[in-house]
Amino acid sequence: MPYTQTWSIQFGEGMALIPIPPKGDFSDYGRKGELFAIELAPEEYQVERWNVFSGYATISPLSPISIKFKIEPGKATYIGNFTFTQTDSLGLTVTGVDVTYSNKFLRDKEVLAKKYPNITAESVMLGIAPKTFIRRLGNNGQTSWDMPVVLHSQF
């Protein structure tokens, strides 16, 4: 059955003159991360893209991705860990990222218990294979620029 609706989940948006790093729920290899949950209707879903927005730059995958998962009534589904590592920049603007997709449920279930006490680890379905580890998800990314054009005219 083809996917007929498109949804967008946005996480970590911010615009600041002085970057303020998030506190995060956990820290791996000097990077901070945060676990979050959203409520979805029971059905099948697919993650088909990621984007990083930084100033006037947008980074998106070079190759198509497809991460399918299912939501069942009364259960939570863990779909995995997405790690975005900056690989390039122009000043404070991020212009390159490496995205890794992996199963970190053993780490994340501790944060889940603290942050969402109404969701027990036993009630969580794994929507990701146990040993999943995909580096360069979407073959890294390509950067596009959306810079405003400023015209000056004298009247």
Condensed to tens digits (0 to 9), the pLDDT of residues 88-100 reads 988 888 889 899 9
Question: How confident is the model at residue 100, as a pLDDT?
Answer: 92
Average pLDDT (92-112) is 90
Which residues have a Cβ under 8 Å from the Cβ of 25 and sit 6 or more positions away?
33, 34, 35, 111, 115
Query: Any long-range contacts for 110-118 (C-beta under 8 Å, 24+ apart)?
Result: 111/25, 111/26, 111/35, 112/35, 115/25, 115/35, 116/37
Residue 79, domain member (yes or no): yes
| N residues, the chain | 155
Is there a domain that residue 66 lies in?
yes
Least confident among 2-11, 47-56, 101-110: 2-11
Give 36's pLDDT tier (boundaries 50, 70, 90).
confident
Amino acid of residue 72: E
pTM to 2 decimal places: 0.79
For residue 56, the enclosing domain spans 26-144
Query: The tokens of 56 are what?
Result: 């006037």
Q: Is residue 155 part of a domain?
A: no
What single DSSP character describes residue 6? -
Domain count, the chain: 1
- Which of the pair, 87 or 140, is modelled with greater confidence? 87
- pLDDT given at position 76: 93
pLDDT at 146 over 80: no
Angstrom distance (rounded) from CA 68 to CA 138: 15
Question: Is residue 150 in a domain?
Answer: no
**What per-residue confidence (pLDDT) applies to 102?**
94
Grade residue 26 by pLDDT with cuts at 50, 70 and 90. Answer: confident
The confidence score (pLDDT) of residue 56 equals 86
- pLDDT score of 79: 94
pLDDT over 90, % of the chain: 34
The reply to whether 42 falls in a domain is yes
126 located within any domain: yes
Identify whether 11 is part of a domain. no
**What pLDDT, on a 0 to 100 scale, did the predictor assign at position 77?**
95
Q: Which of 32-46, 48-62, 138-152 comes out lowest in average pLDDT?
A: 138-152
Domain assignment present for 75: yes
